[in-house]
Amino acid sequence: MEDLSESVTTTRELVFPDDASGKEYRLPSLNVYGADEVRDELDSDIPQYGKWMPVEIIGNTGDEDGFLCAPSHLRSVLLENSVQAGELFRIDTLTKTGVAESDPYRAEVSFPDREADAGKQVGLGD
């Protein structure tokens, strides 16, 4: 048994694909880590598999550091959209394409700051 103060950890949040949709993130760097590296960093026995990216999880109660499980398609979408370190992005959907454990995930990502910039009108001077 442990007391309440011992049960609270200061480790980073792990965001798995099923929990990633509908949230906003920032990448402090463009690094990708294997599960073994994340386990070592967290001094934990999880995660067991996958590629992980360090993220800031943007939330209503403040931002939180974490690791986001990054399936291949999510990494590809971020790369194709030239995501920059520190740039805000939203995972609109991250869903498995089938029911088998080995079925890939499909990601849809948006960039709220880019969309806001695109909506601004620029006036031309005389």
Distance CA 29, CA 26 (A): 9
CA 111 to the chain's CA centroid: 13
- pLDDT tens string, the chain, 126 residues long: the values are 655 555 555 568 999 999 999 999 999 999 999 999 999 999 888 899 999 999 999 987 778 999 999 999 999 999 999 999 999 999 999 999 999 988 999 999 999 998 776 655 444 444
Q: Is residue 63 part of a domain?
A: yes
Q: Is residue 90 part of a domain?
A: yes
Domain span including residue 51: 11-118
Q: Is residue 6 part of a domain?
A: no
Number of domains in the chain: 1
User: 25-34 b/e with 16+ CB inside 10 Å = b?
Assistant: bbbeeeeebe
Q: Is residue 126 part of a domain?
A: no
Q: Is residue 4 part of a domain?
A: no
Q: Is residue 3 part of a domain?
A: no
Distance CA 62, CA 56 (A): 10
